[in-house]
Amino acid sequence: MQIEFQNISKTFKSIKANDNICFSIESGTIHALIGENGAGKSTLIKILSGQISPDTGSIKLNGIPLKLGSSNEANIKGIGILGQDPLDFSNFTVLESFVAGNPTSYFIFSKKNVSKKISTYLTQFNWTINLNALVKDLSIGERQQLELIRLLDKGTKVIILDEPTSGFSLEQKEKVFETLKILAAKGFTIILVSHKIEEILEICSKATVIQKGKVVQSIDLPTEPNNLISLMFGTQDLKPTKLSNISAPIKSQEITVTIPASFNSYENLCPEVSPLIQIPKNIILGVSGLQGSGADKFIQTFQINPNNISLEDKSLINKFNTTYVPSDRLEKGLFPDMTIREHVALTYNKKATVDWNEMWDLSEALIGKFGIVGNPNSIAKTLSGGNQQRLMLSLISDSTELLLMEQPTRGLDIQSANYVWDNLISTKVNKVLTMFSSTDIDEIYEYSEYIICFFNNTIVAHGYPIDLTKDITMQKISGN
C-alpha cells in the first residue's frame, strides 16, 4: 500500500511537533523514519494510526484519502503498530494471550484452530515458539514476534515498528528482520522508526529524516552512515558555548569519578575508555545518550552510591550532601498531593516540630526567588511542568555538594528551560559537581564542561568538549 503524507502539521501548546510534513512511502518497501528524540517521529506515527488528528494536512493510502483522527478507521484500513513494549498478558500462555488480544475475540474458541493458525505463521517465518509456554517466560524478542503475528492475523497491511528491537538478542533481530524482508517482498508496507543507524542500513531501502518537526530529506539507501548521522542531528552550527569551555581544560584534577563496573561491561568494544574520570571541581558534567541508553541510570547510581565520586582533599561526598532531581517530577520527584509549603518543610525544616508560619515565609521567599507561579498552599500536581521544575530547584539545599539532574529540561518550554540553566550555571561554583543527563545533544554541548557518552548501557566515550567533538559524540551515542 502506498502512503502519501501531505502537508501534515501539528502543534502542541507552542511547540511545532510536525511542520508541513510531505513525503511518500512506496508499497512493498521497508521505509525508515529517523530523527532525534523529540524530532516529531512519534507524533507522525500517532497521526497515521489515528490516535491524534493533525491540525492540517492529509494522508492518502493508494491515492484514497484516509479519514484522520480515528484509530478505528486506521485499523480497518490495515494500519498496525508494533510498539516498544509488547501488548500481551504475561500470566497467560501464548495461545491464551493471542485469543485475548484478538479484537474479534471468539465467544467460544477452538484451541486447535487457533494453534493451527499461529503455527502456520511460525513455519512460514521459520520461527519456533512453544504455544503452551507462559508469556512471561518468553524473551522480549519472542513476545514481539507474537505481536507481529497478531497484527498480521488482524489483516494489517501497513506495519509500523516503533523502535521494536530494544531488548532483542542479535539472533532474534536477524530472524525478525528476515521476516520483515519477506513481508515487504509480499507487498506489505513497513515503516521502521529507529535511531539505530546500523539497523536502518541493514534492511531499509529508503529513509526519511525528520528534524524539529520538518522533513529534512528522504534518501535512498544504502548510503554512508555519516551521511545519515549528519542529517539526523542537523547542520553543525558550532556556536560558542555559554561557558567558553572550548579553551583548554584546567589541569587541576581534583575530582575522581569511578565508573561503576556495570556500565563498563563492554571491555572488548571500548578498550580506550578509562574507568576513572578525573576532572576539576565546580564544573557541569553532561551525560549524553539517547532515550534508554543508560545515561539516566548512570546518574541514579550516584544517588545510591555517592562515594563513587572522590575528592583530592578527601572531603566527603555522602548521601546528605547529594541531591538527586529525577526527570519524573510527579512520580519520583515530588509529592503530588502536598503543598509547596509542605515540600519546603520536608526539605528545610531541621527541627522536630514544624513552625508553619516560618515555613510560609520561607516558601514565599523561595516562590519569589525562583519565580514559581503559585502560593505556599498550591498543591504540587496543580503546578505546570515548568513550575514543578522550579519548585524542585528551590528544594535543592545550599549544603548540596553533588547535584544530580536527570534530564533537567525534559518537557519544558524554552523560557523555563533557560531559567533552569541560568540557575544551574550560577550555582555550580557552590557545588563540587553538577551532573546532568540529556537526550538533546545541543543541550549537552551548550552547557557541559565535560562529556560522557552512553550507548546501550555502556560508556562509549568521555572527554572535554574540545577533544570530544559534537561529531564524535553523535557517532558514539548512535552506536558507531
Partner 1 sequence: MSMYQNIFKNIITVLISVIIVTIVLFALQASPFEIYATLFDGAFGNLDKLSRTMLITSIMALTGLALVITFSAGLWNIGIEGQVLFGAIGATFIARSFLGNLFIAPIIAIIFGGISGGFLGLLSSILKTKFNVHEIFGGLGLDFLASGLIVYLVIGPWKREGIASTGGTDLFPEASWVPNIGNYNFPIFPILIMLTIFILLYFLLNRTSLGLKLIATGLNSNATEKFKINSSEYIAYAFIIAGVVGGIAGSIQATSIYHKLVPNISGGYGFLGILIALIAGKNLSSILLISFVFASIMVGGVQLQLRLGMDSSFPYIIESVFVLAWLITRASNIDYKIANYIFLRR
Residue whose C-alpha cell reads 534530564 in the numeric block: 407
> Which residues pair with residue 211 across a beta bridge?
214
3-state secondary structure of 469: coil
Only segment of 71-79, 219-227, 350-358, 420-428 that touches partner 1 (CB under 8 A): 350-358
Q: Is 165 within 8 Å of 176 (Cβ atoms)?
A: yes
345 binds partner 1 (CB under 8 A): yes
Only segment of 10-18, 109-117, 320-328, 360-368 that touches partner 1 (CB under 8 A): 320-328
Exactly one of 40, 141, 164, 333 binds partner 1 (CB under 8 A); that residue is 333
116 binds partner 1 (CB under 8 A): no
Query: Which is nearer to partner 1, 404 or 444 (by Cβ)?
Result: 404
Query: Between 356-370 and 385-394, two packed helices, what is the crossing angle to 10 degrees?
Result: 120
326 binds partner 1 (CB under 8 A): yes
Residue whose C-alpha cell reads 576513572 in the numeric block: 276
* Burial class (CB within 10 angstroms; exposed 0-12, middle 13-18, buried 19+) of 129: middle
Shortest reach from residue 417's CB to partner 1, in Å: 21
Grid cell for residue 16: 511545532
443 binds partner 1 (CB under 8 A): no
Query: Which is nearer to partner 1, 294 or 326 (by Cβ)?
Result: 326
Query: Which is nearer to partner 1, 245 or 322 (by Cβ)?
Result: 322
What character string, x for contact with partner 1 (CB under 8 A) and - otherwise, covers 246-285? ----------------------------------------
Whole-number Å distance between alpha carbons of 294 and 289: 7
Only segment of 18-26, 126-134, 291-299, 321-329 that touches partner 1 (CB under 8 A): 321-329
Only segment of 70-78, 100-108, 316-324, 409-417 that touches partner 1 (CB under 8 A): 316-324
Strands 30-34 and 56-61: unpaired
Kind and range of the H or E run holding 24: strand 15-25
Exactly one of 270, 338, 425, 472 binds partner 1 (CB under 8 A); that residue is 338
379 binds partner 1 (CB under 8 A): no
Taken in order 55, 56, 62, 63, the sign of the CA dihedral is positive
Query: Which is nearer to partner 1, 8 or 395 (by Cβ)?
Result: 395
Only segment of 72-80, 121-129, 185-193, 336-344 that touches partner 1 (CB under 8 A): 336-344
Query: Which is nearer to partner 1, 191 or 396 (by Cβ)?
Result: 396
Grid cell for residue 152: 498480521
Whole-number Å distance between alpha carbons of 477 and 480: 7
Q: Is 287 within 8 Å of 436 (Cβ atoms)?
A: yes
Q: Which of 199, 242, 229 is nearest to 471 (CA)?
A: 229
325 binds partner 1 (CB under 8 A): yes
Shortest reach from residue 324's CB to partner 1, in Å: 6
Query: Which is nearer to partner 1, 334 or 417 (by Cβ)?
Result: 334
Whole-number Å distance between alpha carbons of 232 and 33: 10
Half-sphere exposure for 6 (CA within 13 Å, toward CB): 12
What character string, x for contact with partner 1 (CB under 8 A) and - otherwise, covers 291-310? ------------x-------
Only segment of 133-141, 186-194, 347-355, 416-424 that touches partner 1 (CB under 8 A): 347-355
331 binds partner 1 (CB under 8 A): yes
Whole-number Å distance between alpha carbons of 48 and 31: 14
Shortest reach from residue 328's CB to partner 1, in Å: 8
* Burial class (CB within 10 angstroms; exposed 0-12, middle 13-18, buried 19+) of 445: buried
Query: Which is nearer to partner 1, 106 or 320 (by Cβ)?
Result: 320
357 binds partner 1 (CB under 8 A): no
DSSP letters of 86-154? ----TTSBHHHHHHHT-TT--SS--HHHHHHHHHHHHHHHT----TTSBGGGS-HHHHHHHHHHHHHHT
Only segment of 221-229, 261-269, 334-342, 413-421 that touches partner 1 (CB under 8 A): 334-342
334 binds partner 1 (CB under 8 A): yes
347 binds partner 1 (CB under 8 A): yes
Interface residues toward partner 1, by CB under 8 A: 303, 319-320, 324-326, 331-338, 342, 345-347, 349, 351-354, 356
